[in-house]
Structure formats: structure tokens, C-alpha cells
């Protein structure tokens, strides 16, 4: 087995035993990136020199007998909306195409502190607004299971990197499904943490009351290890939770007896792909056979979540993106006067989807419409949160499909924004409620594409989510963990 084919946990064990060096591990992934990224386009910026330097430092510290974190020497890829000091952070937008932050995001500082080499910054939908990475200002990332299909979004590049073996771990951000949906499309574990568990300091904002950074990984064990690194209180983030963080990795176990799990009745319906529904029900049977208590739960306001989200998130975006004016930093266009320069800068610097959401949000916040749109959406958000509170009185976890269908074809939905928005219909409500949820692979569709199941928990319920995901990892999966890529042909099986 080649080094890049290993999980993060397996690499950790090999590094700890000094069976391989961190430099050898980094080189293996860098070579894999060199082979595959020209086809799959996962990375906006590659940082091989930084990765090798950080890896060499880990090797030196280990030789000196220093006690290191289990993930020391395990490389990682980072979504390009998370600030990295001295490395371009573009948000896949022309308006930030040459922006180099003077500081690291809190999560990046945490990764550096434990010695995880940085492989590069991954492609995404511009400012995290999208479900396919087709909204990137630079290029569309390709799903390694089928290069004619999208990898999901907005953290598509991170998902591609992990699925194709170009990185053992990656960070994404999830505003309304942007970690979980690409995880489902690429056959990965994708975790959206409780709002406030992971610091947002240094995450370039889309919708501040919804954004969360989360891990993309091949296994639940890998995700647990990475979450343990990035979680925790941060005084630089006013929304950070002042709570102790458990050792998610050490507390993993496979005993699920007695866990009460409710299937969301409205989540698995006739509009979903039949094989997606069948895969979810098959996983429920596995859980029940191993001691979980299975039932059904109704979430009456599920149908309203998408509408509420697409008022709240664009409203916050219209405020957050007001800072990109061509004066303080970022792209600047020409103009005969200041107002024209502002207009040209934003017109040329933002893509079509970002402009669409800014206009929706500005309209929803404008005088005369605020009460009718934004305020009503916030009231619906409160009611959705109460739906979850009611459901969690009867069940420890609730679940359903992560996405209504497997990955769709590149270009299939670009001319119909509403259809694109509907691809996130399963993920929106968890984000509005601020609760943690995880996407777990359920098998392969007859098309050969992965499918996923989403499990949700009450706030700070990550330990239970990872426990169930870890149990499912131990079951026999009906598909290989990674797509079989032919690097010599530059294509996929």
C-alpha cells in the first residue's frame, strides 16, 4: 500500500512508531497531487515547500525525543476561505485573487501547533456560495468517482483532495451543507460541528450566524482526531462556546445499544432518488440489529427551512461583503470617480451567484421589506430550532439522507439556481438550528456514485455522532473507500 492510500489514523501510527518519516509522507501526497490535480482541480494554491519544511521540522523534533501530538506529520488541505499567513486566501473570487492574509485563522494556528504540514488551499464556490464548486472564479473541481460530475460544494476542493488521496484530511466550512453535501457526493465523512464549537476567527465570512468550520475525512476515527485539534474556546471569536472539549478520539467505541434514533419522516420522500432512500433504510436496519432503538420523527417545518435560509444567509452576506470596495484590500477597478470605481470593482470582482445573493439580501433588509422577509425568516428559524428540541426529547439522534440524489453532472443545474438550491434541502435545517450533524457513506448507487446518510444530534453532541459513525465504519461497506484512479491515463475507472 502506498502512503497516500492510508487513513490519517494509520499514518499517525506509522509516524509514531517511526516506520516512516513525515517528509516521506508529505512527499507521497505531493506526488499524488502532481499526478491528479491537473485533472481533478482540487487546489487553488499548492504549498509543497511549506509542507516539506513543516514535515522536516516534525521529524527533527521526533528524533530529539519530543512528545508529539498523534497527528504530527499528518498533512492537511485547507479550504481557501480560511486565512493562512503569507499564503494566498482567495475565497475562489476574483475580488480576492491576490489577497495574502497577515495572520492565521485560529484553526490554522492549531494545526501548526500540533505539526500538521499544509499541502495547500482548496477550491470552492466563490465566498462559499454554491453547491457544486462551479461558482469558483477559477475552475470547477471534478468528482474523482466520475470526472463528468460535480464534487458538491462549497467545500468541493477539500472533498476531492481527500477522496482522491491527495490529502488524508481537509478542512471545509459549512454554512448550509457545504461540508456534508460534498462528503456525500465523494463518499466521505463530513462533520458540521455545533455552532461555536470551532472558532470562526480567520474564516472569511459568508453568513456569520451560520458559518462553521468542519473536517472532511475518510473515516470517523480520522474526523474525531481532527476535530479534537480544532475544537475549543477562542477569545477572538465572540460566538465561541466556553466549554471543555472531550477527547473525541479516545472515547470512540462501537457499542450503540440503547441509542434512540429517529428517521425524519419528511426527509426521505417520493422526490428523493429511490436508491438513496433504500440505502438510508438499510443502514437503519443495521443499527437496529446492533441494539439501537429505531423510530420515526416528524419535523413539520422542514419544508420552510430552505426559504428561510435563502433569506437569512443572503441578508448576512450582503452585510459581510460590503467591505469589498476596492479601497482597503483586494481587487480594484478603474473609474472616473469614487462611486464608479466602487461599482466597477464589485461588478467585475464578484461572480453571478455572489451578486445574486447580495441583491436578495439587500432587498430583504431594505426599508419596507425587512418585517415581511428577514424578520419572518428569523421567526421560522426559531420554530425550526424548537422542532429539533421537541424531537430530541424522544430521540438521541435523528437521521435522513444527506442529499436527495448522488452527484449531478457538471453544468446540469447552472442555469437553474432554484434546482441548485434544492440540492441542499436536507442540510439547511441543521445549520439554522446550530446543531451538529455528520454525513456518513451508505454505499454506491447503481450509477457507481457514492450516497450518504446524515445524522444529527443536540448541541455539543459530537461525541455521540462520531460514536455511531465509527460503528458504521466498522461494518462492511458496499463500496471501496476511494475511487480507483488511473494516473497513467489521467482518468478514472
Nine-digit cell string for 171: 478542512
**Residue 161 and residue 41: Cα distance in Å, rounded?**
9
Contact by Cβ (8 Å): 458, 424: no
Task: Of 248, 286, 221, 165, give the one whose Cα is nearest residue 469.
Answer: 221
**Residue 171 and residue 472: Cα distance in Å, rounded?**
22
**Residue 445 and residue 146: Cα distance in Å, rounded?**
12
Give me the helices (H) in 217-269, please: 220-230
Active-site entry in 21, 93, 131, 154: 154
**C-alpha distances in Å from residue 424, one per residue of 114, 322, 343, 431:** 34, 26, 31, 11
What letter does residue 335 receive in the DSSP assignment?
-
Active-site entry in 28, 158, 178, 315: 178
Examine the residue annotation and report whether 208 is marked as an active-site residue of this protein: no
Sheet strands (E) in 152-197: 169-174, 189-192
**Residue 457 and residue 461: Cα distance in Å, rounded?**
5
Helix (H, G, I), strand (E, B) or coil at 89: coil
**Residue 175 and residue 313: Cα distance in Å, rounded?**
8
**Residue 308 and residue 209: Cα distance in Å, rounded?**
13
Examine the residue annotation and report whether 41 is marked as an active-site residue of this protein: no
> Across-strand partners of 79?
122
Active-site entry in 41, 79, 413, 463: 79
Helix (H, G, I), strand (E, B) or coil at 354: helix
Contact by Cβ (8 Å): 72, 58: yes
Examine the residue annotation and report whether 467 is marked as an active-site residue of this protein: no
How long is the chain?
493
**With b meaning 16 or more CB within 10 Å and e meaning fewer, what string describes 305-322?**
bbebbbbbbbbbbbbbbe
Determine whether 40 is exposed, middle or buried from the number of CB atoms within 10 Å of its CB (0-12, 13-18, 19+): buried
H-helix or E-strand containing 172? strand 169-174
**With b meaning 16 or more CB within 10 Å and e meaning fewer, what string describes 433-457?**
bbbbbbbbbbbbbeeebbbbbbbbb
Give the other-Cβ count within 10 Å of 391's Cβ.
18
Catalytic residues: 79, 154, 178
Amino acid at each position: 500500500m502506498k502512503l497516500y492510500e492510508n487513513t490519517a489514523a494509520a499514518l499517525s501510527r506509522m509516524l509514531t512508531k517511526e516506520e516512516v518519516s513525515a517528509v516521506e509522507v508529505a512527499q507521497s501526497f505531493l506526488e499524488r497531487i502532481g499526478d491528479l490535480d491537473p485533472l481533478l482541480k482540487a487546489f487553488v494554491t499548492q504549498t509543497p515547500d511549506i509542507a516539506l519544511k513543516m514535515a522536516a521540522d516534525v521529524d527533527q523534533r521526533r528524533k530529539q525525543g519530543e512528545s508529539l501530538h498523534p497527528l504530527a506529520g499528518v498533512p492537511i488541505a485547507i479550504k481557501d476561505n480560511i486565512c493562512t499567513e503569507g499564503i494566498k486566501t482567495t475565497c475562489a473570487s476574483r475580488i480576492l485573487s491576490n489577497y495574502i492574509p497577515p495572520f492565521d485563522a485560529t484553526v490554522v494556528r492549531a494545526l501548526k501547533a500540533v505539526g500538521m504540514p499544509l499541502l495547500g488551499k482548496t477550491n470552492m464556490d466563490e465566498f462559499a456560495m454554491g453547491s457544486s464548486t462551479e461558482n469558483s472564479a477559477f475552475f470547477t473541481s471534478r468528482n474523482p468517482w466520475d470526472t463528468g460530475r460535480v464534487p458538491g460544494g462549497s467545500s468541493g476542493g477539500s472533498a476531492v483532495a481527500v477522496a482522491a488521496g491527495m490529502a488524508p484530511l481537509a478542512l471545509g466550512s459549512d454554512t448550509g451543507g457545504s461540508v456534508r453535501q460534498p462528503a456525500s457526493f465523494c463518499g466521505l465523512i463530513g462533520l458540521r460541528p455545533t455552532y461555536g464549537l470551532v472558532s470562526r476567527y480567520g474564516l472569511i465570512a459568508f453568513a456569520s450566524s451560520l458559518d462553521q468550520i468542519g473536517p472532511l475525512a475518510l473515516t470517523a476515527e480520522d474526523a474525531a482526531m481532527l476535530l479534537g485539534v480544532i475544537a475549543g474556546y477562542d477569545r477572538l471569536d465572540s460566538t465561541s462556546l466556553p466549554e471543555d472539549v472531550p477527547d473525541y478520539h479516545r472515547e470512540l467505541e462501537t457499542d450503540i445499544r440503547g441509542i434512540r434514533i429517529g428517521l425524519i419522516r419528511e426527509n426521505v420522500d417520493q422526490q428523493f432518488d429511490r436508491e438513496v432512500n433504500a440505502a438510508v433504510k438499510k443502514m437503519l436496519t443495521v443499527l437496529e440489529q446492533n441494539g439501537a432503538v429505531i423510530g420515526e420523527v416528524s419535523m413539520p417545518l422542514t419544508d420552510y427551512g430552505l426559504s428561510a435560509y435563502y433569506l437569512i444567509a443572503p441578508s448576512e452576506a450582503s452585510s459581510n461583503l460590503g467591505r469589498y470596495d476596492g479601497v482597503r484590500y483586494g481587487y480594484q477597478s478603474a473609474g472616473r470617480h469614487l462611486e464608479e470605481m466602487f461599482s466597477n470593482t464589485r461588478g467585475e470582482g464578484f461572480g453571478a451567484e455572489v451578486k445574486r445573493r447580495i441583491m436578495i439580501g439587500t432587498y430583504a433588509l431594505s426599508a419596507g421589506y425587512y418585517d415581511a422577509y428577514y424578520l419572518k425568516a428569523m421567526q421560522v428559524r426559531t420554530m425550526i430550532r424548537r422542532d429539533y428540541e421537541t424531537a430530541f426529547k424522544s430521540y438521541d439522534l435523528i437521521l435522513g439522507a444527506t442529499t436527495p440524489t448522488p452527484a449531478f453532472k457538471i453544468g446540469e443545474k447552472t442555469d437553474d439556481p432554484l434546482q441548485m438550491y434544492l440540492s441542499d434541502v436536507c442540510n439547511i435545517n441543521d445549520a439554522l438550528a446550530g446543531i451538529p450533524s455528520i454525513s456518513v457513506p451508505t454505499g454506491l448507487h447503481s450509477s457507481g456514485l457514492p450516497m450518504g446518510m446524515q445524522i444529527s444530534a443536540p448541541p455539543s453532541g459530537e461525541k455521540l455522532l462520531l460514536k455511531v459513525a465509527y460503528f458504521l465504519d466498522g461494518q462492511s461497506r458496499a463500496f471501496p473507500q476511494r475511487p480507483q484512479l488511473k494516473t497513467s491515463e489521467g482518468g478514472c475507472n
